[in-house]
Structure 1
Amino acid sequence: MESFLDKKGWKLDFILNTHEHSDHTSGNQGLVRRYGCTVYSHPGGIGKIPHATHPVQKGDKILSSAKEYLEILDTPGHTFCHVCILLVENQKPTAIFTGDTLFNAGVGNCLRGGDPTILAKTILEQFYPLEEEILLYPGHDYLETNLKFTLSLNPSNQDAIDALEECSRLPKNIEFLTTNLGKERRINTFLQCDHPSSELLKNVSIKISPKRLLDQNPTELFILIRSLRDKW
């Protein structure tokens, strides 16, 4: 990041950490030392995130101008100190930065201070209603692995098959696919819990222990898929 800023001749005004895990915050110390920048985080991250002193809460707007702003979403589940950032341009949401809450073809795990029931609530209530055109920028690129998991449950999902083929053609660690929420709803099983295919329901019911028939309860299905992904 420093070399990029140097090349552009830019300075760093602030850092906004989506959550407290060290793979997202370990650069804070060096950047604050060099640039004297402010570190923003979820209120629960103050004291956990290096140099975080300024809390942001649901509905806060930052980098606000007449035509665009970033809006803070409170998105617990992966951890209880997690925020996502929605870019709004000309009064229309156009992109979302999701940290470890929502990934391409997947969602974050809940193994380090999270709760799958809370994550299900966050995804179902905050992400399901968002417009299809919104671009997704997650904190990690797990697309290839997540697509293989999707196909383990929904092998006839042609959109996932096509996305995996496209993903396999990209240079590793250089390029990644940018999707929108419309595409995610076709390739991400976690975004299909309110309208699961019969194939998805059947395969989840076979793979869980003990095996049983499932009804179409979105929260229950989400939690079961998350548990299968944890063991996959």
Structure 2
Amino acid sequence: MDIHLIPAFADNYIYLLRDPASGAVGVVDPGDAQPVLAELERRNWTLTHIFNTHHHNDHIGGNHALKARYGADVIGPRADAARIPDMETCLGEGETISFGSLTAQVFFVPGHTSGHIAFWFPEAKALFSGDTLFALGCGRLFEGTPAQMWTSLVKLRGLPDDTRVYCGHEYTLSNARFAVTVEPDNAALRSRAAEIAAQRERGEPTIPSTLGVEKATNPFLRADRPEVQAALGMAGADPVAVFAEIRGRKDRF
């Protein structure tokens, strides 16, 4: 699968997808139609699928214009059917959606919002995690609980290490600055933080990450690790409580 990053607003990423075998073209979380339209026209591609992970306007704001232009199928979380206009295909946990010759598996991952889903394309080794899992971070708990978000993150953490993570925002530099305050003795994290700083200095995106890298360095995926619990003075604590502590610290960071 061809995957192209389209920057939008201050720090959003929209993803343009193409299945070379079938010519199917999709877009993930098009908060703004204009840069998507420009890229489609530049490539002479016809949009067939619009994938939405959650209802926030910076992820769905371009749906209507793109559907009006191409008649593409608007796909998103069943739990948010009342909050995503123009949605035709509603999906939930364990369901699948065909994209040309490829198939995406759907995960229900509430926490950031109550209806959030993620799309995993096993053949392409690509996870579109929206605002649930970020590179070195996770989304704020606007509509969910720490227990819900921890469960959602553990679900995504169970995917293969070589899964590429395509998230909704370029937050990685600030996430790295926070992560090293949680786990200052993590050598892999310190090395990654330095690499991220250099990437951003060169104006390069830090996305995609991989799940293997996230498992080794992302504090929000590591709340059940003894070394993280010890660093927080919470040895042996319930991982949900540890996650809540980390999330609270990030909210105040």
* TM-score interval, smaller chain: 0.7 to 0.9
Percent sequence identity is: 28
Considering only CA atoms, is the larger Rg found in Structure 1 or Structure 2? Answer: 1
Aligned to 2:26: none
Change (3 A) 1:42 1:175: same
Matched AA of 1:115: T
Matched AA of 1:105: L
Change (3 A) 1:195 1:214: closer
Asked if structure 1 preserves the Cα contact closer than 8 Å seen for 2:226 and 2:236, the reply is no
Residue 156 (structure 1) aligned with residue 185 (structure 2): yes
Aligned to 1:75: 109
2:157 to 120, 128, 137: 128
TM-score (norm 1): 0.86
**1:203 Cα deviation (Å)?**
4.4
- In structure 2, C-alpha distance between the alignment counterparts of 1:31 and 1:95, rounded to whole Å: 23
Change (3 A) 1:190 1:64: same
Aligned to 2:218: 188
Specify the SS of the correspondent of 1:19.
Answer: coil
- In structure 2, C-alpha distance between the alignment counterparts of 1:217 and 1:114, rounded to whole Å: 18
Matched AA of 2:106: I
1:218 to 232, 235, 239: 239
Change (3 A) 1:169 1:132: same
- In structure 1, C-alpha distance between the alignment counterparts of 2:182 and 2:113, rounded to whole Å: 26
- In structure 1, C-alpha distance between the alignment counterparts of 2:89 and 2:145, rounded to whole Å: 25
**1:45 Cα deviation (Å)?**
1.5
- In structure 2, C-alpha distance between the alignment counterparts of 1:63 and 1:9, rounded to whole Å: 22
**Greater share of strand residues, 1 or 2?**
2
Specify the SS of the correspondent of 2:232.
Answer: helix
**1:71 Cα deviation (Å)?**
0.9
Aligned to 2:130: 99
**1:13 Cα deviation (Å)?**
1.3
Asked if structure 1 preserves the Cα contact closer than 8 Å seen for 2:118 and 2:129, the reply is yes
**1:12 Cα deviation (Å)?**
1.1
Aligned to 1:56: 91
Matched AA of 1:54: T
Over the aligned positions, Cα root-mean-square deviation in angstroms equals 1.9
Aligned to 1:210: none
Change (3 A) 1:65 1:22: closer
Asked if structure 2 preserves the Cα contact closer than 8 Å seen for 1:38 and 1:54, the reply is yes
Q: Deviations over 1:75-126 (max 9, x none)?
A: 111111111011111xxx7221100110111111112x222221112222x1
Gaps of 5+ in 2: 1-35
Asked if structure 1 preserves the Cα contact closer than 8 Å seen for 2:224 and 2:239, the reply is yes
Gaps of 5+ in 1: 206-212
Q: Deviations over 1:155-177 (max 9, x none)?
A: 12221221121112225654224
Specify the SS of the correspondent of 1:18.
Answer: coil
Residue 38 (structure 1) aligned with residue 73 (structure 2): yes
Residue 12 (structure 1) aligned with residue 29 (structure 2): no
**1:27 Cα deviation (Å)?**
0.9
TM-score (norm 2): 0.79
Aligned pair count reads 217
Aligned to 1:209: none
- In structure 2, C-alpha distance between the alignment counterparts of 1:201 and 1:57, rounded to whole Å: 33
Specify the SS of the correspondent of 2:181.
Answer: helix
Residue 85 (structure 1) aligned with residue 119 (structure 2): yes
Specify the SS of the correspondent of 1:216.
Answer: coil
Matched AA of 2:49: F
Residue 201 (structure 1) aligned with residue 229 (structure 2): yes
- In structure 2, C-alpha distance between the alignment counterparts of 1:171 and 1:219, rounded to whole Å: 32
